[in-house]
Structure 1
Amino acid sequence: MARLVTNRQEAVDMIHKFQNEARSIEDRLSHVRAWYACKDHSGKWLFGASKFIGYHEMDAATFLDPDNGLDGRKTEKQLQEWFDEVPTTSALSGTLHEKLASYLDTFGKVPSRVARINVLREPQASDTNADLHQKLVDMILLVARTLPDDQRRHLKQRMASI
């Protein structure tokens, strides 16, 4: 089972990856309701579908697999940690919907009439610390999985006392 992205940078990386995988899933692009956007290093807006970018290491083959077990509700909830929905009444909404339409036009597609666009929130100092802490937890788990069973039990006991 695919795991959800766990930090801001991972979500941004998945938006970048979506650019390379979108051609393989172009038949689904007009059905996407939740789009996530960020700017690349040159200031160009990049877009990614929630159900794709919300999962770590997602690829087109997994995305297209009818038995993949992916859940857009879970990705939406997770991505809210780093993205904000653009109000439809804002000037930015009009601009982004035009850019999304232009992007999808390169695939011969149009956005869903009910498409929402969410943009990457500016990082706060606490976001940076949270990302660092999440990476540390991920590293500890990775190391713990390599331990022999008896050492893993000992580690669990010690962690339970924290």
Structure 2
Amino acid sequence: MWLGKLAKDGYLTRHSIDDEESHFCTPLGRASSCLQRRLPLVKDILLAALGFLGLSALLLTLYLSSEAKTDNKDTRGLWRQSCYCGKSIAEAKTMGCKYDALSSAWLPPHCRDDDLTAEFLAHEDGPWEYWADQAHTKLLTLEEVSSLGTYSFLAGN
């Protein structure tokens, strides 16, 4: 775009708006051309700011999740801990394991959810019943069920 400028001698001189004053939006220039020149810069700054915010949020989330894993003493290293309770009931008891009716296994404390097991045992139809025989003549307690090795047959209801 060319603009006219009145020189000292009275003649009108022309120069391009893209010359030395191109970085200014002069009142003589159109507002739309000023906006067109600045729009890519504004867009780039906005995209860079959004990218920076997104990256910052991602890094903060990763940092906080790793801190939560290492700070919680109840869950520290649980993924490395085994639920092994030995090869016998006596060995399981000496290892601090307890029979869990929900999983039908001897489990250490970090592998059990006692509240969930209690909810399971009391769900809808009342407590679960375990029988020593198919005729349902001898009802077993949960303690007897936990000693499964002493029974040759177990029927559940």
- Scaled to the shorter chain, the TM-score interval is under 0.3
Judging by fraction of residues, say which structure has more helix.
1
Computing the radius of gyration from Cα coordinates, the structure with the larger value is: 2
TM-score under structure 2 length normalisation: 0.18
TM-score under structure 1 length normalisation: 0.17
